Amino acid sequence: MADNFIYGFHAVVSRIRQDAKSVTEVYLHRERQDPRARDLLQLAEEQGVRVIFMERHRLDGMAGNDKHQGVVAKVVAAREYHDVFDVLENLKEPALLLVLDGVQDPHNLGACLRVADAMGAHAVVVPKDRAAGLNATVRKVASGAAETVPFVTVTNLARSLREIKEAGVWVVGAAGEAESDLFSAKLEGPTAWVLGAEGEGLRRLTRETCDQLIRIPMFGSVESLNVSVASGICLYETRRQRNRI
């Protein structure tokens, strides 16, 4: 696999703790001598990860920005799946998938990965085009979840949804105008939640491919939620229903 860069203390520390062998080197700003930097140095030494000190401008070049907090790591890129069945065939419980239709903001994608990890989703599925992919910003926001949640990139989302349905997974789209709401939904079986970008929602073909459309009840003045927040609500309700059985 090719090398990749991740940055930020949370992302780098999480990667070392989860899979130190996948971390080739850690690059640390030479002027950082604070407790957070010392803790990272200790962890890297314990796990046998080489640390190289360097100037900030070189870290900027590796990360592609100046938001790296003074730490960048070269890692073996996590596997990106191109077939959701690579994930489904090895499951020991009913499938729980998060499908994102047209989410282009890397911060939103990173937050969705973090939510998916927290709620035990088995994969995040995205289309290849017109959507954010795994990059350093996504990995930083995901805080390690980009390395733990299978990330499936598909060429044709509608076709992939039909294949998921044929595999016995109930495909549920989140749509504000849906007649049924989350409180009445039955989510105990294999489920794939499909969410669109904030403001745009699901594309027409994606919407038509879903088995069911569900809306999240809203009790305040706002009309929509950030996609990562909506994802968390939907995945949490699915887990809640399964745990009461």
Positions at the binding site: 196, 216, 225
* E strand spans, the chain: 3-7, 23-29, 51-54, 71-76, 80-81, 96-101, 123-127, 151-154, 170-174, 180-181, 191-196, 212-215
* E strand spans, 60-216: 71-76, 80-81, 96-101, 123-127, 151-154, 170-174, 180-181, 191-196, 212-215
Residues with Cβ within 8 Å of residue 41, at least 6 apart in sequence? 28, 51
Calpha distance 125→99 (Å, rounded): 5
Binding residue ranges for S-adenosyl-L-methionine? 196, 216, 225
For residue 229, the tally of other CB atoms under 10 A from its CB is 16
CB 134 within 8 A of CB 1: no
Would you call 209 helix, strand, or coil by DSSP?
helix
